[in-house]
Amino acid sequence: MAKLTFQLYGSPLEVEAPLPTGTITAAEFLPLVHAVVSAVVARSAERVEAGIGGSPGKPITCAKGCAACCKRQPVPTALPEAEALRALVDRQPTARREELRARFEEAARRVEEAGLGPRMRMEIASTPEQARVAVQEYMQLELVCPFLENESCSIYEDRPMACRMYLVTSPASLCTDPLGQPVEVLSMPLRPITALMAALEELGFSPQHTVPLTLAVPWADAHREAAEQQYSAELLLKTWLKHLSRRIAPGAAGAG
């Protein structure tokens, strides 16, 4: 285990995370990233619930059984996460694996049919306007996450970073139309997904982009060689931390 210390909002945030060693794939780096994300999300939620800068506290309205954000919304998924999900699906018993794969194939077919495939690949440099227009069209397809079962996440411990970081303080009913309704999404002080993509780009695995989670498994299937690329764990950690520290929201501080 490694102990990482982040200076966030004027106080240290210590995170115990599994430290990868030797040579690893980017997917094998995710447990460390997830530990950091969980700690950062918890700190951000505490601050909002307690009230910030004189503003009254606001409760987080996300709750088990509310799966509004698992339906319609494109959950941005980076290739290492897609590869981790592919491996998770392929570890399932045959019937479950086939069911999940059929859901992914159906989602991919519908996205391609709508001509949205290339436009849903969000690169680091995608502009907010490009993203907004593509997301609007994607949401009209009303695709449901293949891992959603009875309004609950069936892979909660393994869910991607975007799922971990999406918390709201507005009424849950607004989340069915996040572009048209005043949904209050908790702003996060760090951008770990973008930092990971930037780190992988720097280490020669480029260009990086995300796809919606509904397309993740077929995407990982089609990019096995890239997903299996090996990195020095130490170098990947250093490079990720460097890019993470460059992506800190104003008002928060650096990573150490």
Q: Which residues bind ligand SF4 (CB under 6 A)?
A: 70, 75, 145, 147-148, 153, 155, 159, 163, 213
**Residue 30: CB minimum distance to ligand SF4, A:** 14
Backbone angles phi, psi at 62, to 5 degrees: -65, 140
Which residue in this structure is represented by tokens 């519908």? 110
Q: How many whole angstroms separate alpha carbon 209 and alpha carbon 17?
A: 25
- Cβ 166 to ligand SF4 shortest distance, Å: 8
SS3 of 231, please? strand
Residue (of 79, 78, 80) closest to 24 by Cα position: 80
Rank residues 13 and 193 by Cβ distance to ligand SF4 and give the closer one.
193
* Residue type (1 letter), 130: Q
Return the number of the residue (19 or 60) whose C-beta is nearest ligand SF4.
60
CB-nearer residue toward ligand SF4: 86 or 159: 159
For residue 44, the minimal CB distance to ligand SF4 (Å) is 18
Report how far residue 179's alpha carbon sits from residue 174's, in angstroms, rounded to the nearest whole number. Answer: 10
Question: Least Å distance between CB 180 and ligand SF4?
Answer: 20
Query: Which CB sits closer to ligand SF4, 19 or 167?
Result: 167
State the Cα–Cα distance between residues 216 and 27, nearest whole angstrom. Answer: 13
